[in-house]
Amino acid sequence: MSLNITLGAKDLNKTETFYREVLFLPSEFIESSRPEKSFLVLFLGNIKIVFQPLQIMEAQHPTLLQNLTRGPLGCGLQLEIDCENLDDVYRMVKHYHWPIAYELDDQEHQRRELWIHDPDGYLLVLNEEEITAE
């Protein structure tokens, strides 16, 4: 079984660059002969996150888009992503001067987190569990 999540994006190129260059996530940009039909797929294990242009979502499902755009895009959605290389991601976030919403280094639970918003406002909680030898 797998899970696909579809999210709206204002600018697919900006979204693709962010996830590829800042977060190092495997993705595939599916281009169409008509640019408005292009979309982006992120691969996270058995989960695929599909970003579609907002204008396409509006054309296909106008009622859905009206609900999506009542508040800021991404409002109420949190994607938690396990990172094996949080230090590298953190360096890239700093390199691109990307705003950090929250940082946590929880020594008690051997867990580090970095909270940022993607270009469309979706909250990403990037985390890394420290492996301790027993």
Q: Is residue 81 part of a domain?
A: yes
Locus of tokens 């204002």: 10
pLDDT at 111 over 80: yes
Asked if 101 contacts 123 with a C-beta cutoff of 8 angstroms, the reply is yes
Which tens digits make up the pLDDT trace of 4-40? Answer: 998 988 899 999 999 999 999 988 988 877 656 789 9
Q: Is residue 134 part of a domain?
A: no
Q: Is residue 15 part of a domain?
A: yes
Which tens digits make up the pLDDT trace of 39-94? Answer: 999 998 889 999 998 877 777 776 766 666 666 677 778 999 999 889 999 999 99
CB-count exposure of residue 65 (10 Å: 0-12, 13-18, 19+): middle
Q: Is residue 53 part of a domain?
A: yes
Mean pLDDT over each residue of the chain, to the nearest integer: 84
Whole-angstrom Cα distance, residue 1 to residue 59? 30
What does DSSP say about strands 3-9 and 47-53: parallel, antiparallel, or unpaired? parallel
pLDDT at 133 over 60: no
pLDDT band at 106 (very low <50, low <70, confident <90, very high): confident
pLDDT band at 110 (very low <50, low <70, confident <90, very high): confident
Number of domains within the chain:
1
pLDDT at 104: 82
Q: Is residue 46 part of a domain?
A: yes
Q: Is residue 113 part of a domain?
A: yes
CATH number assigned to the domain comprising residue 104: 3.10.180.10
Asked if 77 contacts 17 with a C-beta cutoff of 8 angstroms, the reply is no
* Domain residue limits at 56: 3-129
Q: Of residues 32 and 124, which shows the higher confidence score?
A: 124
